Amino acid sequence: MAGKAIRKWGRLLVGLILTGGAGSALAEYTLNLREGVTNISKDVYDLHMLVMWICTIVGIIVFGIIIYSLINHRKSKGAVAANFHENTTIEVVWTAIPLIILVAIAVPATKTLLEMEDTSGSDLSIKVTAMQWKWKYDYLDSGVNFISSLDAKSNEARALNSGIDPYSVENYLLNVDKAVVIPVGKKVRFLFTSEDVIHAWWVPDLAVKRDAIPGFINESWTKVEKPGVYRGQCAELCGKDHGFMPIVVHAVPQADYDKWIAGEKMAMAETAAASSKTMSKDELMARGEKAYNSSCAACHMATGTGIPGVFPAMVGSKIVTGPVAEHLDIVIHGSKKNPAMGAFGKQLNDLDLAAIITYERNAWGNNTGDVVQPSDVKAAR
């Protein structure tokens, strides 16, 4: 009950401040901490509001006394300064009161922090691996795994001189090509790590923010009680494309989650089966365009023109139009000359790599006629 009262009066206070008392606009405010949709996020919000109220009251009292003293004990009114060195009673009081306040804050804060760190009793676990500049998700209980990247529309709009108004793109820079899906009413444990630099997985509505550090595992958890779509971003400056590394979490009913898991397993099985077959050029080009836009266009652009001085163009590239073996090597193992060109052999399967390389060698007027099969990628590994 106390938490609900704090949230109610907190919304009212912030709403009044931002709207000047206009009741019709109380529902829309952006300066306060987000309340979130989980019990932990609400506890965090309650702590925030509790401390804010304490600071507000203390500030009013302290500054009220200061202003009163300045007005009523000024020299022009004949006030004479008292001549004393110390007062034990006052010193005890002004030490005891802050101590009591800190203890009052520490009790609920400690309780909330302990709850945030308690990942025991989870219903499922998801390993989150950060990489420049995307997220890989492994569902440890079901074997499902995939890579999530910035969605194609946002990626196209954010390109230099794209001519696209970002405001015309829904959820600009906050949408992905493949979202995390979790069941409502279940405790989900997240394990965070990184393949390259330090990243941070942050979803405000879930009150989850954890650093993803190479060679180290961080933990957190969430339990969402109602279906919805919750968005976040990388919260650690991780490189030039730091701002293009969003997170989207879909919380769905258990039945829908089970159906999604089954669909993902089927898709993974189909990909594994296709990787052992010989694909036609048209099949590889169609899959390659989609995979390129998801994994490569962030740096080399959807048009293959690259970013001058930063990332080379694919159009007429010596690598792309040169020997297939060299093209395979740099895509699978990365570039020693340019560390920003990562080793995609760790991220993508043989079929997607074969499709991407085939697409790059035959798109944008390159027209080499080369067709790279999944078996070629497997051999090159």
**Which CATH number fits the domain that encloses residue 160?**
2.60.40.420
- pLDDT, position 19: 44
CB crowding 285-308: b at 16 or more within 10 Å, else e: bebbbebbbbbbbbbbbbebbbee
How many whole angstroms separate alpha carbon 226 and alpha carbon 38?
A: 9
Last residue of a domain, one of 231, 257, 272: 272
Q: What is the pLDDT of residues 51-96, one digit of tens each?
A: 999 999 999 999 999 999 999 888 888 888 878 778 888 899 989 9
Specify whether 292 is located in the same domain as 325. yes
Question: Is residue 27 one of the residues assigned to a domain?
Answer: no
Question: Which is more confidently placed, 254 or 307?
Answer: 254
Specify whether 296 is located in the same domain as 194. no
Question: Is residue 24 one of the residues assigned to a domain?
Answer: no
Last residue of a domain, one of 251, 272, 293: 272
- pLDDT, position 7: 55
- pLDDT, position 299: 80
- pLDDT, position 16: 46
- pLDDT, position 257: 97
Give the mean pLDDT of 22-38: 66
Assess whether pLDDT exceeds 50 at residue 26. Answer: no
Give the mean pLDDT of 214-239: 95
| Structure confidence at residue 25 as a pLDDT band (50, 70, 90) | very low
Specify whether 128 is located in the same domain as 252. yes
> What is the rounded average pLDDT for all residues in the chain?
87
- pLDDT, position 294: 82
Beta strands (DSSP E) in 169-245 are 180-183, 188-194, 199-203, 208-212, 218-222, 228-234
Residue 53, strand partner residues: none
Q: What is the pLDDT of residues 100-116, one digit of tens each?
A: 999 999 999 999 999 99
Number of domains, the chain: 3
Question: Is residue 10 one of the residues assigned to a domain?
Answer: no
Last residue of a domain, one of 272, 306, 337: 272
Question: Is residue 15 one of the residues assigned to a domain?
Answer: no
Give the mean pLDDT of 307-319: 84
Specify whether 141 is located in the same domain as 263. yes
The pTM is what? 0.79
Question: Is residue 8 one of the residues assigned to a domain?
Answer: no
Question: Which is more confidently placed, 75 or 11?
Answer: 75
Question: Is residue 371 one of the residues assigned to a domain?
Answer: yes
Question: Is residue 22 one of the residues assigned to a domain?
Answer: no
Q: Which residues, other chains included, contact 239 with Cβ-Cβ below 8 Å and sequence gap of 6+?
A: 132, 133, 197, 340
How many whole angstroms separate alpha carbon 224 and alpha carbon 226?
A: 6
Domain that holds residue 63: 33-117
Specify whether 262 is located in the same domain as 157. yes
Question: Is residue 176 one of the residues assigned to a domain?
Answer: yes
How many whole angstroms separate alpha carbon 347 and alpha carbon 328?
A: 14
Assess whether pLDDT exceeds 70 at residue 48. Answer: yes
